[in-house]
A and B are shown apart, each in its own frame.
Chain A
Amino acid sequence: MKQVFKRPESLSKTPFHYCPGCDHGVVHRLVGEAIDELELKNRAIGVAPVGCSVFAYDYFDFDFNQAPHGRAPAVATGIKRTRPDAIVFTYQGDGDLAAIGTAEIIHAANRGENITVIFINNAIYGMTGGQMAPTTLIGMKTATSPYGRDASTAGNPIRMSEIIATLESPAYVTRVAVNNPANLMKAKKAIYNAFKLQKEGKGFSFVEVVSICPTNWGKKPADSHKWLAENMLPVFPPGTFKDVHGVEKA
Chain B
Amino acid sequence: MSKWVINENLCKGCGICIARCPLKILGFADHLTPKGIHPATILNEEKCTSCAICARSCPDVAIEIFKEEK
Interface positions of A (Cβ within 8 A of B): 1-8, 11, 15-16, 18-26, 28-29, 180-181, 184, 214, 220-222, 225
Contact = CB atoms under 8 A, between A and B. Distances in A.
Which of B52, B58, B61 counts the most A-chain CB atoms under 10 A from its CB?
A: B61
A5 B57 contact: no
A3 B14 contact: no
B64 A25 contact: no
Interface string B17-39: 00110000000000000000100
Contacts of B13: 20
B59 A2 contact: no
- Chain B interface helix/strand/loop/mixed: loop
5 contacts: A4-B52, A5-B65, A8-B61, A15-B60, A20-B59
The interface size bin for chain B is 20 to 34
A7 B65 CA distance: 10
Contacts of A19: 12
B15 A23 contact: no
Contacts of A4: 50, 52, 65-67
Nearest to B66: A1
A25 B58 CA distance: 8
A154 to B, nearest CB: 30
A6 B59 CA distance: 13
Contact of A15 (B9, B16, B20): B9
Given A5-B64, A6-B64, A181-B57, A20 B19 contact: no
**Which of B50, B59, B61, B68 has the most chain A CB atoms inside 10 A of its CB?**
B59
Contact of A18 (B16, B59, B63): B59
